[in-house]
C-alpha cells in the first residue's frame, strides 16, 4: 500500500455523522464487493473509543495502490453522497507512518437475542435458554462502529471496528469487502 485518500463527511443539520458514515460505509462495501477488491483497506483516523464515546469519526481513509484507488473512485459508488462528503486527492503515504491492523470484532451484546437464537437452533424452552444464557454474557463494547447493510443478506448490523496496536513495519495480506483484515496492516498517520 503506497497511497491513500480521505473521504470526509460534511456537517449536515439533518443527518448525524454516524448515520452518514454508515451510509458511506455500506456503499463502500458494495463497491469493494463489485470490484472483487481484496487490496484496499480502510482506517478511521478520527475514531473514538469508550463505552460512551465510541464513534467512527468523520473521515473514512482508503489505503491501496494509486491505480486501484482511482478505479474505485471512478466506479460511481458515491452516487447520492456527493452533497455530504469531500474527497481528497490520492496522496502517497507519509514516510513516517506507522502501521495497524484494522479488523472487525464481534461481541455478544444482547442476552435476549442470544436466548431466542438458542431456542430456535436447539429447540429449547424459554426457561432452559434463560438458564443456559445468563444476563452476564452481555459485554460492554467500547469500540467505534458503523451501522451497515450486508450486501449478501441485506440485514442491518453494527460493524465494530478495532484499530490494533501500532507497529513499525507493514504486514502484507488481503482485505475483505469491508476493507478490514485480521492479518494485514494499513498505514497509520
| Rounded-to-integer distance, Cα 55 and Cα 160, Å | 10
User: Which residues participate in catalysis according to the annotation?
Assistant: 29
- 22 CB contacts (<8 Å, ≥6 apart)? 146, 147, 148
Where does the chain have alpha helices with state H?
Answer: 17-35, 66-74, 111-122, 126-132
| Rounded-to-integer distance, Cα 175 and Cα 38, Å | 5
Q: How far is CA 53 from CA 18, 46, 48, 144, 170, in A?
A: 12, 12, 6, 8, 29
To the nearest 5 percent, what fractions of the chain are helix, strand and coil? 25, 25, 50
Q: Is 85 helix (H, G, I), strand (E, B) or coil?
A: strand
C-alpha cell at 40: 484496499
C-alpha cell at 52: 460512551
Amino acid at each position: 500500500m503506497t497511497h491513500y485518500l480521505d473521504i470526509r463527511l460534511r456537517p449536515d443539520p439533518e443527518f448525524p455523522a454516524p448515520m452518514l458514515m454508515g451510509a458511506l460505509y455500506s456503499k463502500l462495501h458494495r463497491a469493494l464487493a463489485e470490484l472483487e477488491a481484496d487490496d484496499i483497506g480502510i482506517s478511521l483516523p478520527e475514531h473514538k473509543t469508550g463505552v460512551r464515546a465510541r464513534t467512527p469519526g468523520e473521515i473514512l481513509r482508503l489505503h491501496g495502490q494509486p491505480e486501484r484507488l482511482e478505479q474505485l473512485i471512478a466506479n460511481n459508488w458515491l452516487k447520492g453522497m456527493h452533497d455530504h462528503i469531500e474527497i481528497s486527492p490520492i496522496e502517497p503515504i507519509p514516510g513516517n507512518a506507522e502501521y495497524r491492523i484494522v479488523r472487525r470484532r464481534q461481541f455478544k451484546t444482547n442476552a435476549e437475542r442470544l436466548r431466542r437464537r438458542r431456542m430456535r437452533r436447539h429447540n429449547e424452552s424459554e426457561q432452559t435458554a434463560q438458564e443456559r444464557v445468563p444476563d452476564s454474557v452481555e459485554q460492554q463494547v467500547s469500540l467505534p462502529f458503523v451501522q451497515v447493510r450486508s450486501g449478501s443478506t441485506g440485514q442491518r448490523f453494527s460493524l465494530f471496528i478495532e484499530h490494533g496496536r501500532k507497529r513499525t513495519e507493514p504486514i502484507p495480506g488481503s482485505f475483505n469487502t469491508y476493507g478490514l483484515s485480521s492479518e494485514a496492516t494499513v498505514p497509520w498517520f
